[in-house]
Amino acid sequence: MNININTEEKNEEYIITMSGELDVYTAPELQEVLNPIRQDGSHHVKIDLTDVSYIDSTGLGIFVGTLKDLNKHNRELRVTGVSDRILRLFEITGLRDLMHINESSEVE
């Protein structure tokens, strides 16, 4: 499966919109987009998962790493547009308690 990733910079936030599946094969594409943002640490990050149908452990690992790096710079990771299936994954892994998750794609 493929993944499409779009990035928009708005004020002090990067908005990343994805579609497709985030798995071991497509995760490097997201990692490539997030690495400079994580290292810079000057922006909050909002990731819209409205059109993402599947996330595996590799994808979850990217969220964890991004969260850790952003926290070092007092920045937030917000995840929006989360389907029930993906929300359950965040709940099972305990990530729902560590990051801002909103089921709609609107800003919290």
What are the residue boundaries of the structural domains of the chain, listed by start?
3-102
Helix (H) / strand (E) element for 38: namely: helix 27-40
Q: Which CATH number is 3-102 given?
A: 3.30.750.24
pLDDT tens readout for residues 62-85: 999 999 999 999 999 999 999 999
pLDDT tens readout for residues 3-34: 999 999 998 999 999 999 999 999 999 999 99
Q: How far apart are CA 54 and CA 91, in angstroms?
A: 15
Global pTM value: 0.90
